Amino acid sequence: MSLGTTLRVTKQRQVLLDELSKVRTHPTADELYQMVRKRLPRISLGTVYRNLELMAENGMIQKLEVGGTQKRFDGNAAPHYHIRCQKCGRVDDLSLPLAHDVERQAREYTDFTILRHNLEFSGFCPDCQESKGRR
Ligand SMILES: [Zn+2]
Ligand SMILES: [Zn+2]
């Protein structure tokens, strides 16, 4: 699907959007499936996957993909940065101002037209730091 086309907001998509915008945890498709099932008991995991992919392609939500980990989804479609815990996989928003400079600098190194950039930090979340200290 090309960018800019409008995706019809079905009941299922609306419920997915609602549930996704309630949390800041960047849930996986499986977690979202458990969440929406309370309101749409007959929805299938496949339908949840398909709709999430379509909504991400359409720019209604964001898909966070890091090699070797489960995809996570974000109801906040505006560009922002993330930080991921290397131990438990928790993903938080990081409210660092967007580095527009990076894109300007990157243009000097490529002939590509740059549309956006993703930046993800990793480390240990407060809970995992604590459990490390207790050992
Ligand atoms: Zn952690
Ligand atoms: Zn986010």
121 alpha carbon to ligand 2 midpoint, in Å? 12
Ligand nearest to the CA of 82: 2
Specify the pLDDT at position 5: 63
- Residue-wise pLDDT tens digits, 10-51: 999 999 999 999 999 999 999 999 999 999 999 999 999 999
pLDDT digit string, tens, across residues 59-77: 999 999 876 678 999 999 9
Q: At 7, phi and psi to the nearest 5?
A: -90, 130
End-to-end Cα, the chain, rounded Å:
50
In terms of Cα–Cα distance, which of 35, 76, 37, 31 is closest to 55? 76
Distance 18 CA to ligand 1 centre (A): 26
Per-domain residue ranges of the chain: 1-74, 79-135
Query: Distance from the CA of 102 to the center of ligand 2, in angstroms?
Result: 20
Q: What is the pLDDT of residue 100?
A: 86
Judged by its nearest atom, the ligand closest to the C-alpha of residue 125 is: 1
CATH code of 1-74, in short, is 1.10.10.10
CB 48 within 8 A of CB 86: no
Ligand 2 mean position, distance from CA 135 (Å): 31
CATH number of 79-135: 3.30.1490.190
Distance in Å, CA 77 to ligand 1 centroid: 24
CB atoms within 10 A of CB 15: 20
